[in-house]
Amino acid sequence: MIQVKECDIPQISQGLAYVEDELLHAVEESDDKIRDILSGLFDGGKRIRPRLVLLSGMCFGELDEKMIHAAVAAELIHTASLVHDDIIDMSDYRRNNPTINSIFGNHIAVLAGDFLFAKAFEILSEHEIINSMLYFVNAIQNMCSGEIIQSYRRFDISITEQDYMDYIDKKTASLICACCMAGAQSAGAGSHEINLIGSFGYKIGRAFQITDDILDVTGDKKTLGKSVGQDITEGDISLPFIYLLAESDNSGRYADKLNKGSLNEDLKQILINDAICSGAVDRAQSKARQYVDEAVELLYEVPHSIYRQALIALALNLIDRQF
């Protein structure tokens, strides 16, 4: 299968350029203090969610303003959630840059995230992108629910693979699904096509989060822009560690310390090394690949086009990335 690169599709480059302009405009039209707080916030992002909106839409119709505005709203919502995540995680850096909470404090950071959420829905409302608004509202509710569930399961070694899938569906896959559905809906796709592309989004959302969790184990601080092993240090037991702990010997070995919520640097390194050496990371990678393969299979029901091929390439790249 020949993969299509986005850079070979002028319409995608054009659409993403419009998205960048609108993101800058959303910041620049704010008052001086908000502008100072948000300055540089959109530098360096991968824009995966806007790409999904545009590519999903262009599988069913030509690039238009509604797709672009839906893509802008998707990135604003995603960025708002990251701002709030940094507060919850007490993170000082993201993408090797200081977080808003580390510079301005939690109070200002909460309000900055709220501002971005409000700006996203202002755009959707102003341009009467109502169905997409409903997709995003549902996604935000799921994201909050997923984060709450995860917070209650910290240092819980009884967590199962199904438990993990349930909350990553909510906290990550739901927004990616909404992006795909919003793009298709903006293009005038029918309900079957919208639901189909939404299922594609859910599956690559799972693969995306699993890959993120693998990189937290196998990556490096410079590339990730954050400390390696941060998730397990905070008690978030991701898929590689679920597979590791499922082995009876390992469960007993770590049970006492994890159940007490204590994880020093030495134990963290032991867990990371064991997850890699035991094959648990490889199992998690295979699971991510399975979801991508299932997602790509769904796309073969979508009419053939360069945009469908670009979506396939994007899905494959999500699990081959290094950060």
Mean of all residue pLDDT scores within the chain = 90
Residues 6+ apart with CB under 8 A from 143: 81, 170, 171, 172, 174, 175
C-alpha to C-alpha distance for 23 and 12, rounded to whole angstroms: 16
Report the alpha-carbon distance of residue 52 to residue 77 in Å, rounded. 14
Q: What is the 3-state secondary structure (H, E, C) of 125-140?
A: HHCCCHHHHHHHHHHH
How far is residue 21's CA from residue 118's CA, in Å, rounded to a whole number? 18
Nearest C-alpha neighbor of 200 from the set 228, 181, 225? 181
**Per-residue pLDDT at 161 exceeds 50:** yes
Of 101, 61, 82, 122, residue with least CA distance to 303: 61
* Rounded CA separation 255/59 (Å): 49
pLDDT band at 45 (very low <50, low <70, confident <90, very high): confident
Residues sharing a CB contact under 8 Å with residue 134, sequence separation 6 or more, in sequence order: none
Q: How many residues does the chain have?
A: 323
C-alpha 26/C-alpha 21 separation (Å) is 9
What is the pLDDT, as a whole number, of residue 267? 84
- Identify which has the larger pLDDT, 297 or 319: 297
**Who wins on pLDDT, 181 or 269?**
181
Residue 234, token pair as written in the block? 């905070």
Instruction: Tell me if 204 sits within 8 A of 312, measured CB to CB.
Output: no
Give how far the C-alpha of residue 258 lies from the chain's centroid of Cα atoms, to the nearest Å: 27
Please name which of 243, 168, 236, 227 lies closest in space to residue 203, comparing C-alpha atoms.
Answer: 168
pLDDT at 303: 93
The token pair at 204 is 């690559």
Confidence of residue 321 (pLDDT cuts 50, 70, 90): confident
Contact 127, 133 (CB under 8 A): no
Residue predicted with more confidence, 49 or 225: 49
Nearest CA among 12, 56, 7, 47 for reference residue 198:
56
pLDDT of residue 228: 82
Which two tokens mark 60? 């069913």
d(CA 104, CA 214) in angstroms, rounded, equals 31
**Distance, CA of 199 to CA of 203 (rounded, Å):** 6
Neighbouring CB atoms inside 10 A of 100's CB total 24
Q: Does residue 95 come out as left (phi exceeding 0), alpha (psi in the -120 to 50 range) or beta?
A: left
**For 132-144, b where at least 16 C-beta lie within 10 A, e where not — what string?**
bbebbeebbebbe
CA–CA dist 286, 272 (Å, integer):
18
How crowded is residue 206: how many other Cβ atoms within 10 Å of its Cβ? 25
Q: What is the pLDDT of residues 105-134, one digit of tens each?
A: 999 999 999 999 999 999 999 999 999 999
With cut-offs at 50, 70 and 90, classify the pLDDT of residue 238.
Answer: very high
Q: Are 150 and 171 in contact (CB under 8 A)?
A: yes
Which of 7-21, 72-86, 210-224, 247-261 reaches the highest mean pLDDT?
72-86
Does residue 224 register a pLDDT over 80? no
